[in-house]
């Protein structure tokens, strides 16, 4: 049955699989750098969002050499809109590592790939499958949904991850792992969608144990953790020439290396007159929700480290999505 399932999925993929800028059909991608950039961008970001950013990034950094030799601030600029900037830093570090340690050729052994910065077991598996056609099993959210539905696995996902992995591995086509990996992800993205799955168009409909289940959309079953919320204050500071005060975050921790308007959970600049705008913006990070209350200040001197920048030059500095939301209130 496994072979029949894989074969029907591969046949479906040939006709209906998505054409994506980082994808070739019919085997591994000839350029592993392309696969790596797309895989890192796709961590925690949707395909639709990634496409335009990927194109722009590849135009500016078409080779691993061009990326490794660039300035990190420029890499951040080209990462804007994707969020999770630690990924940009990891990709940059990996490019330098591959150039230095492997003479620009990506390693083929999984243990070595796992030592590259920012590459965990999921990315290593998809990288090796898509770039080198190695028989690795890719398991992302789409694959989990498809497998749970195919086998009608209704227990909480966190409790049955080993079982999902076992089923997914048994299904993986060993002759065409690159196409198979893309195909099962596309099945989850296009047909076996979270809402309104298109079972009548599904290549696996005759094998699927959930097709007629009344609770189909509730599979896979996920327990929800409510994210904790934090509050903080952010300060838009201008001087008489209309310049804005910004600072760069340290190279470690949340939004590291990016520029920002000063913000803190504590009250800052209490020695200066402040205008309370009564405006707040909310931003959701992976592990918490942040609410920033906006204050405006007019002053010629700021007692904290940072720099004055003309407002028209702000786009030359990499800012997080969070700070771009704040900038709208300038």
74 among known catalytic residues: no
List the structure tokens of 5: 């399932």
| Cβ atoms 177, 129 nearer than 8 A | yes
- Find tokens 């705008």 and name the residue: 277
Selected binder of ligand SF4 within 28, 148, 208, 258 (CB under 6 A): 208
List the structure tokens of 293: 């209350």
Spatial distance between the Cα atoms of 273 and 287, rounded to a whole number of angstroms: 34
**Is the Cβ of residue 51 or residue 199 nearer to ligand SF4 in the bound state?**
199
Q: Which stretch binds ligand SF4 (CB under 6 A): 87-95, 164-172, 189-197, 319-327?
A: 189-197
Q: Which stretch binds ligand SF4 (CB under 6 A): 76-84, 135-143, 194-202, 264-272?
A: 194-202
Selected binder of ligand SF4 within 42, 67, 98, 191 (CB under 6 A): 191
From the list 94, 38, 35, 49, the residue with the least C-alpha distance to 67 is 94
Spatial distance between the Cα atoms of 75 and 15, rounded to a whole number of angstroms: 36
Number of C-beta neighbours around residue 300 at 10 A:
9
Q: Does 180 bind ligand SF4 (CB under 6 A)?
A: no
Relative to beta strand 307-309, strand 244-248 is antiparallel
Spatial distance between the Cα atoms of 183 and 13, rounded to a whole number of angstroms: 5
Q: Does 185 bind ligand SF4 (CB under 6 A)?
A: no
Q: Which stretch binds ligand SF4 (CB under 6 A): 3-11, 44-52, 198-206, 287-295?
A: 198-206
Q: Does 189 bind ligand SF4 (CB under 6 A)?
A: no
Q: Does 246 bind ligand SF4 (CB under 6 A)?
A: no
**Is the Cβ of residue 217 or residue 276 nearer to ligand SF4 in the bound state?**
217
**Is the Cβ of residue 149 or residue 167 nearer to ligand SF4 in the bound state?**
149
* Residues 116-175 interacting with ligand SF4 (rule: CB under 6 A): 146, 149-150
String of contacts with ligand SF4 for each residue 214-233, x by CB under 6 A: --x-----------------
Alpha carbon 216 to chain centroid, angstroms: 27
Q: For the CB of residue 19, give the shortest distance to ligand SF4 in the complex, in Å.
A: 21
Spatial distance between the Cα atoms of 23 and 131, rounded to a whole number of angstroms: 10
Relative to beta strand 289-298, strand 274-284 is antiparallel
Q: For the CB of residue 187, give the shortest distance to ligand SF4 in the complex, in Å.
A: 7
Spatial distance between the Cα atoms of 64 and 68, rounded to a whole number of angstroms: 6
Residues near ligand SF4 (CB under 6 A) are 146, 149-150, 191-192, 197, 199, 202, 204-205, 208, 210-211, 216
Catalytic residues: 39
């Amino acid at each position: 049955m496994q072979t029949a399932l894989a074969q029907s999925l591969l046949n479906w993929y040939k006709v209906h699989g998505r054409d994506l800028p980082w994808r070739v059909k019919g085997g591994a991608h000839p350029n592993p750098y392309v696969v790596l950039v797309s895989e890192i961008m796709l961590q925690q970001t949707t395909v639709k969002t990634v496409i335009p950013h990927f194109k722009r990034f590849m135009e500016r950094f078409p080779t691993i050499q061009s990326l490794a030799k660039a300035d990190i601030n420029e890499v951040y600029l080209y990462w804007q809109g994707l969020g999770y900037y630690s990924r940009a830093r990891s990709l940059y570090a990996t490019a330098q590592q591959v150039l230095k340690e492997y003479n620009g050729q990506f390693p083929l052994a999984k243990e070595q790939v796992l030592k590259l910065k920012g590459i965990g077991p999921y990315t290593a598996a998809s990288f090796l499958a898509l770039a080198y056609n190695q028989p690795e099993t890719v398991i992302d959210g789409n694959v989990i949904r498809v497998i749970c539905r195919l086998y009608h696995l209704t227990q909480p996902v966190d409790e049955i991850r080993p079982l999902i992995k076992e089923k997914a591995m048994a299904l993986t086509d060993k002759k065409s792992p690159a196409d198979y990996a893309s195909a099962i992800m596309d099945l989850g993205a296009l047909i076996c969608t979270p809402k309104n799955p298109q079972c009548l168009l599904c290549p696996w409909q005759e094998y699927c144990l959930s097709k007629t289940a009344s609770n189909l959309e509730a599979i896979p079953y996920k327990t929800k953790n409510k994210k904790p919320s934090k509050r903080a204050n952010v300060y838009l500071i201008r001087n008489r020439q209309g310049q804005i005060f910004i600072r760069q975050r340290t190279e470690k921790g949340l939004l590291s290396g990016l520029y920002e308007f000063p913000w803190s959970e504590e009250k800052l600049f209490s020695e200066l007159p402040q205008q309370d705008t009564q405006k707040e913006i909310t931003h959701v990070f992976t592990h918490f929700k942040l609410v920033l209350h906006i204050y405006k200040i007019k002053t010629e001197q700021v007692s904290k480290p940072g720099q004055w920048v003309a407002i028209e030059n702000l786009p030359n500095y990499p800012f997080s999505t969070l700070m771009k939301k704040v900038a709208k209130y300038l």
